[in-house]
Structure 1
């Protein structure tokens, strides 16, 4: 049985000619990573023993958290290294080909799309923006500054004590509804303003506090594709916006540059 090939990503062959691929240990931590030139496209791969990395074995291993964490981190680190040195189309974790012929056929069948995408990604950077809020701090600020809430509180204060209890419960429900609407409005507004500096953008799902292990709630999660010459303006806008909303309980956390995970999907996980 022929050796399997683990595919990290694809880069332009010309870029590899100008800057040879740095040495690195492959996915199994035994074989060396290497480049395989397929015309104008170079695939970055490492060899795998089919006796240890069959499809069934991979399915079992991804359920082992220690193994999954170690290998996912390795995959990410190699992509970060490649992204620093080349224009890169990153592939998904555990993209494995059964043979060199299978890999070559896949790349050749998508050659024009791959080349077009590599050219479009040249000089671009992917950045992630997560927006968090402290609900308690935001709720306090909201109670004080929202005209609708202030008017309702004034109205309740003039009611008999017996009715005030029930109306205050209704008021808290109103605050919760208005707060969620306000959080969405602010995040959407920030997103629209940041899009002005970008080639492309995408909104991702948010994560629960239990997953994050922090007291703030993630309200927004988005990614942006930027040209290098727009990065400074983008970050200036982030700093200015972050400063203007921090006292109300908001935190903006930009990270990057990342491999173009969200703007360069072409190849399935397995071939």
Structure 2
């Protein structure tokens, strides 16, 4: 009798799902810069998952939970995840899965596909022929208000009254700039929502994460049919020309990460 412990089934990182060959899709070619030992596929009922074996030392339940607190590790995983999804999305309709979706062996992946079949199939149908565009609006308060650094009242202005008057003027200018930024963000979102088929408002990004200058006042994603891409881009108003101190940033077209609602999520317990 062999009392040796039975090894756990290997872990598979699941990047995305596409249609299987013969159902209008098939596994695309993807880059080699990935997380583990090379990409492969798992098929189930017309769906194909893009997967890769990954080490249990990093992706089993306990180490993964610890890694999720490590921003540098997460950034590396996110880069590899996005590279695979973006490459697949350039070739076929692709449903990206949540970052760090991990299953135990092919059986776990098939269970994931089986349980999420309806949502994944609906997403593939809904996301065919469309892409995501990201729009961010930033406010640079120093440019918008023209505010100068505060100085000591007596030395800079000759009197405390002049100093207080100047400070009150700066506060009013800052409030006006905040109102302009908020109003412009609402108007921009309304215009672009009408030019898209769907839109999502994300929470404003913190400067320490985005590392972009200015305060983020709009962080939105828009789902745009490929044939209406030019119409969408033409709808973007010249925000920076009209409002000094506001800066518009557009990115895309992307695989529609923000519009994937499948219910298909996995972890090492799958």
The alpha-carbon distance between structure 1 residues 236 and 104, as it changes in their structure 2 partners (threshold 3 A), is same
| Paired position in structure 2 for 1:245 | 242
* Distance across 2 between alignment mates of 1:22 and 1:91: 18
Matches within 5 A, 1:8-27: 8-14=15-21, 20-22=27-29, 24-25=31-32, 27=34
CA contact (8 A) 1:129 1:221 kept: yes
Match for residue 41 of structure 1? 47
Structure 2 unmatched runs, 5+ = 1-7, 148-158
CA contact (8 A) 2:26 2:48 kept: no
Aligned residues: 249
Larger CA deviation: 261-270 vs 64-73: 64-73
Distance 1:166 1:68 in 2: 48
Say which of 262, 265, 269 aligns to 1:268: 265
For residue 187 of structure 2, give the secondary structure of its aligned residue in structure 1: helix
Deviation per residue, 1:88-109 (Å, 9 max, x gap)? 1101111001232232223222
Residue 94 (structure 1) aligned to one of 100, 111, 128: 100
**1:179 lines up with 2:177 in the alignment:** yes
User: 1:120, CA displacement in angstroms?
Assistant: 0.7
RMSD: 2.6
Corresponding residue number in structure 1 for 2:151: none
Within a 5 Å distance, the mapping from 1:59-98 to structure 2 comes to 59-98=65-104
Aligned-pair CA distance for 1:14:
3.8
User: What's 1:220 paired with?
Assistant: 218
In the alignment, the residues of structure 1 paired with residue 163 and residue 25 of structure 2 have an alpha-carbon distance, to the nearest angstrom, of: 74
Alpha-carbon distance, 1:125 to partner: 0.3
Paired residue for 1:236? 234
> For structure 1, which runs of at least 5 residues remain unmatched after alignment?
142-160
